[in-house]
Structure 1
């Protein structure tokens, strides 16, 4: 399906939702489709992300298929979005507003933010502020790893801030951050600004230097068994619960297979380890007697990544923290080049 047709389905869903739920006061596209042309193709393993804006917190709707389109619906409050300057300084929100991503905006508040962000998105002051926010997220996450937490929590607390290092080039390069494919996008942005030679070092912060394609395929096969087991368990209390159901299966496995086939098997390990850890979180909480289904596979993944123990993860995290001043100089250069070439 083309992006334009997929967006039209999402717009129709939002309009219907707003008719029956007056607490939804606005909506906009987010994620990987932002900035894509209407004639681009949406792969079966990609979703269309939509943010619903409310005055008060709401429950994440989650991932589901609607009229042939995989939608990922989340909610955010006006307070979380903030005003135009708040958005301009946010590496999370600013990319959503730099293009016309607004779906519904009865009050005009989103449009006002969008006009300000579109005008100032490439201002070096705001680019530096967004990049500083990315660095703080890495530092804040990796400094506080809890070796006494359950294994799944330990892994997620390590892998996500580690992976934000791959988001940094996207923010510096004025590109749209993404989640599952963030390493692939980081390699493209670094190469586009003359720093492609630095990418292997960045990728090694995740996997320590390499996991071969055969092992990645084996991990995907093992994860499929675990995933299908977890899909049969109650997952309503988990923010990522919908990602572990039928709607999310293509994202994990078809998307993972596509990366492996493209020679990006090392990058595929990011979502493999995330999904394994999430599966273990669910099993440990709702069916602890079945923990043996998920834990061995996750432990094998961690071993291949070189972070089998809490001490290993601490050492890897400390290495990333120690490297941040060097990465800062790289990102500053990327940002200068991106700003110079903007527009």
Structure 2
């Protein structure tokens, strides 16, 4: 498939113009910045149609509006989120948050009429790579894993139970990425973790991360087949979705290049195992929507979801998940020791 490319700088300028046209008029508006995978990328880098640029609109309102999701603006795919200023204050809270700190390690500001975001960056940037703060962010990711596992409910519907295991298992990659001072990307987290582990001399951990997910030995043909089934489920879900979920923006026609085409690019490029996490996550999200908005259609499509879970991750029923949850919990200390070693080694510092 042919993807239309835009440059990162072009996408940032489109994002800034979107903020100027739409963001500034929102209630309590304080500014906007870029987050996610494009942080630190040069302006002349290519941003394929399978990627978006994350825009965070900061609001002083006590109740910011819900996440807008993915939209096209001037050829760039924007993922727009609103964040309350309270989440960014005090600055030390940002510095120890593995999801927030990376956006302020460099200049990502799109608009800053109050100057607050520039002050926040001035605090975070010089401290970002100091080991004590890196380890605090690693601990933040570890807490995300452990709290997610504690909330697991084996009696939940299959799509919920799978999600409750899948995401904590995959946050193990974020512990590694934070230790390596890399962006804790969402869809491409396994590819990014593999590269970081190789560069820091810990490549042996990567097969274990895949094994925890259950896809260490899966074939490209099998992943591709289940991706085809996901594409059909995705399109059917996007056509009937009405209920608002936090992830609704990822299940729209505008988001299809990321969820489906992006996964296809991984499979075609020989990184089929790296595509498994997002295929399963998207399948589960589709079925959350279908359960709310089209349960009959969900029942019709569920065998494809169950087959993907079984053949890609070795999960054949919700009853098999408590054991997998326990495996993740037992693996966390191994990941933590690796992260500590990475923070203590020179790497690419």
The residue correspondences of 1:109-188 to structure 2 (distance < 5 A) are 109-188=116-195
How far 1:178 sits from its partner (Å)?
Answer: 0.4
User: Retained in 2: the 8 A contact 1:235–1:242?
Assistant: no
Query: 2:22 maps to which residue?
Result: 17
Query: 1:335 maps to which residue?
Result: 343
Query: 2:256 maps to which residue?
Result: 249
User: Retained in 1: the 8 A contact 2:154–2:321?
Assistant: no
Query: 1:237 maps to which residue?
Result: 244
1: CA distance between counterparts of 2:332 and 2:154? 23
How many residues are matched?
A: 341
Query: 2:36 maps to which residue?
Result: 31
Query: 1:6 maps to which residue?
Result: 11
**Which deviations, in whole Å up to 9, do the C-alpha atoms of 1:224-269 show, x marking residues without a partner?**
1111111111335112112111111111221111111221101101
1:318 counterpart (309, 326, 340)? 326
The residue correspondences of 1:197-236 to structure 2 (distance < 5 A) are 197-236=204-243
User: Retained in 1: the 8 A contact 2:241–2:290?
Assistant: no
2: CA distance between counterparts of 1:240 and 1:295? 20
**Which deviations, in whole Å up to 9, do the C-alpha atoms of 1:147-173 show, x marking residues without a partner?**
111211111111111110011111001
2: CA distance between counterparts of 1:94 and 1:19? 23
Secondary structure in 1 matching 2:345: helix
Secondary structure in 2 matching 1:239: coil
How far 1:309 sits from its partner (Å)?
Answer: 2.1
Given the superposition, is the C-alpha separation of residues 341 and 269 from structure 1 closer, same or farther in structure 2, using an over 3 Å criterion?
Answer: closer
1: CA distance between counterparts of 2:52 and 2:224? 23
Which has the larger displacement, 148-157 or 233-242?
233-242
User: Retained in 2: the 8 A contact 1:207–1:266?
Assistant: no
How far 1:194 sits from its partner (Å)?
Answer: 0.3
2: CA distance between counterparts of 1:240 and 1:293? 22
Query: 1:84 maps to which residue?
Result: 91
**Which deviations, in whole Å up to 9, do the C-alpha atoms of 1:65-117 show, x marking residues without a partner?**
11111110011101112221111111010101101011111111111110111
TM-score by length of 2: 0.94
1: CA distance between counterparts of 2:20 and 2:161? 40
2: CA distance between counterparts of 1:152 and 1:328? 29
1: CA distance between counterparts of 2:320 and 2:180? 31
Q: CA RMSD in A?
A: 1.3
User: Retained in 1: the 8 A contact 2:52–2:78?
Assistant: yes
User: Retained in 2: the 8 A contact 1:283–1:294?
Assistant: no
User: Retained in 1: the 8 A contact 2:263–2:275?
Assistant: yes
User: Retained in 1: the 8 A contact 2:98–2:140?
Assistant: yes
1:295 aligns with 2:288: no
How far 1:292 sits from its partner (Å)?
Answer: 2.1
1: CA distance between counterparts of 2:127 and 2:74? 37
1: CA distance between counterparts of 2:21 and 2:189? 32
User: Retained in 2: the 8 A contact 1:184–1:267?
Assistant: yes
Which has the larger displacement, 272-281 or 147-156?
147-156
TM-score by length of 1: 0.96
User: Retained in 1: the 8 A contact 2:175–2:335?
Assistant: no
Which has the larger displacement, 307-316 or 220-229?
307-316
How far 1:311 sits from its partner (Å)?
Answer: 3.3
**Which deviations, in whole Å up to 9, do the C-alpha atoms of 1:13-49 show, x marking residues without a partner?**
0111134324221111001111101111001110010
